[in-house]
Amino acid sequence: MARMTAARAAVEILRLEGVDVAFGVPGAAINPFYKALKEAGGIRHTLARHVEGASHMAEGYTRAKPGNIGVCIGTSGPAGTDMITGLYSATGDSIPILCITGQAPTDKLHKEDFQAVDIATIAAPVTKKATTVLEAAQVPGVFQEAFHLMRSGRPGPVLVDLPIDVQQTEIEFDPDTYQPLPVYKPVATRAQIEKAIGMLLASERPLIVAGGGVINADACDLLTEFAELTGTPVVPTLMGWGAIPDDHELNAGMVGQQTGHRYGNATFLASDFVLGIGNRWANRHTGYRLDVYTEGRTFVHVDIEPTQIGRIFAPDYGIVSDARGALELFVEVAKELKAAGRLPDRTEWIQSHLARKGTLHRRTHFDNIPIKPQRVYEEMNKAFGRDTRYVTTIGLSQIAGAQMLHVYRPRHWINCGQAGPLGWTIPAALGVAVADPETPVVALSGDYDFQFLIEELAVGAQHRIPYVHVLVNNAYLGLIRQAQIGLEINFQVNLEFENINTPEIGVYGVDHVKVAEGLGCRAIRVTDPDELGAAFAEARRIAAEDRVPVVVEAILERITNIAMSPTADISAVKEFEDIATEPGHAPTAVIPLTEPVGT
């Protein structure tokens, strides 16, 4: 046994559980933990500029590679409350991160001490567990349990709150004999898988809906193998995008009222059986008209979390299982059926989906100045290639990106799916780039998302974390402006102002180039669509050579409406006309789902 502070014991457990990177901001109530972090060594720390930013960096770090667990650290009081958004985001998307906060001394709790807040109670609804440790001897057990909980069942975040006196108290702890607790994941039975496959074989036009659980379980190869064995097209959800390459014959495109592909929606509506694996039936995927989504189709739902089965609608059959465990059995049974000649020929169904995939596209090529956003995504597809990891959160930029970009590998679309907080993109991209510095990282933001946590660019400059950030600037809260069309208003969504220091950018207000450069980064502004490709290439070169974030700002036309469903019905997604409309007025053209928009 060894005698050490509880803070040092906690750091030793982090190392033994595989943690080698942490993100955070020190403060008085967490300084003993930081002292232990420094003295123990072996964990590289990245200093954030905002504690919420640290939590999103931890999210990005976790999402980038299988097995990663991001750690974020802050002091007492507002540091913990600042990280609540990151915990909510991680909970919503089943992402394990560990949040460690300092706390006032135990004898000052509930006495309204400076920066003392009951963070465990505040964090409880958005974590798998949140604990304020009142006895130093419990610190090793609490941290051991934290890693067990984060990895077991549906992954998710945990918060551990450490009063300063608890951190400083000496305890007995033996790192040499420490052992992580076994991880629990439910696994389907063969009988369950055989029944599900029987239902699939009885259908004529089956689909697989692959959610983020497939990626979390590192089961994408098994998913593709099962789809190929059975001839079943795959619809990835927004969180599952990349589970099967976009150009794979069996990738049927995404479905949804915002981030769906035209051909994906059409193929889904033509299906008669859906096998959902590791997905939540989120409303951005299903739309709010569940009767349209479910009518005429039989559903099997496989999910690691028992309470997800039947939460949105009752499937015809439900299986509680980790996606990898289920898919191993799906592949095993399918191989046996194939050897016995019992798998049906799906050629006709596959060809029909490929016909839709080959024609039902949105137009992307425009030569307009100011730039139309569709052209930005077209040029991104050309410039960044198959190895790129895209990182983004919410807004018309994300919705258009999901409709028009291409993703070919798991964990190469890193997106905050459920919470969608503005400001998430910059810190998350930094966390992704820290996790995998060898893979190109390209972030995508609208101007308002970019401005929320813009100070985190300085983290990239200080710590030499290169990535490319594509900023589409229309000086609007574009998604909210578009949502206001139905109310015939255009209110408090306009970011324009005449910048007296930068008259050349006109009403676009904030000079993002100067701000980025002032934070130690590099930036390029583009006003001509024909210059986008060269700007992206130059940004990649600068990022690689200078080892800093590089911003490419595309000055867009002020108003562009992106395809969405005003009726919340995936069969009636409105395809807006290819010209800008005046504020407060709905566009006049609606293109039927069965007709192509253009190329």
Which residues have C-beta within 8 Å of that of residue 283, sequence separation ≥ 6? 257, 568
Residue with tokens 């991001």: 70
Determine whether 399 is an active site residue: no
Report CA torsion sign: 26, 27, 28, 30.
negative
**What is the distance between the alpha carbons of residues 599 and 593, in angstroms, rounded to a whole number?**
15
Beta bridge partners of 472: 446, 554
Nearest to 465 by CA among 442, 433, 424, 425: 433
3-class DSSP assignment, residue 161: strand
**What is the distance between the alpha carbons of residues 474 and 501, in angstroms, rounded to a whole number?**
19
DSSP per-residue codes, 553-572: EEEB-S--PPPB-TTS-TTS
Query: Which of 200, 209, 422, 551 is the catalytic position?
Result: 422
Q: Please tell me what DSSP assigns to residue 283.
A: H
Report CA torsion sign: 169, 160, 22, 18.
positive
Determine whether 414 is an active site residue: no
Nearest to 250 by CA among 274, 266, 229: 229
CB 441 within 8 A of CB 429: yes
DSSP per-residue codes, 22-77: EEE---GGGHHHHHHHHHH---EEEE-SSHHHHHHHHHHHHHHSTT--EEEEE-ST
Determine whether 422 is an active site residue: yes
Determine whether 430 is an active site residue: no
Query: Which of 181, 201, 290, 480 is the catalytic position?
Result: 480
Determine whether 320 is an active site residue: no
**What is the distance between the alpha carbons of residues 239 and 411, in angstroms, rounded to a whole number?**
9
- DSSP H or E segment with residue 419: none
Query: Which of 14, 30, 37, 51 is the catalytic position?
Result: 51
Query: Which of 319, 477, 485, 555 is the catalytic position?
Result: 477
- DSSP H or E segment with residue 300: strand 298-303
Which conformational region is residue 50 in: left (phi greater than 0), alpha (psi within -120 to 50 degrees), or beta?
Answer: beta
Q: 486-504 b/e with 16+ CB inside 10 Å = b?
A: eeeebeebebeeebeebee
Q: Cite the active site residues.
A: 25, 51, 422, 477, 480
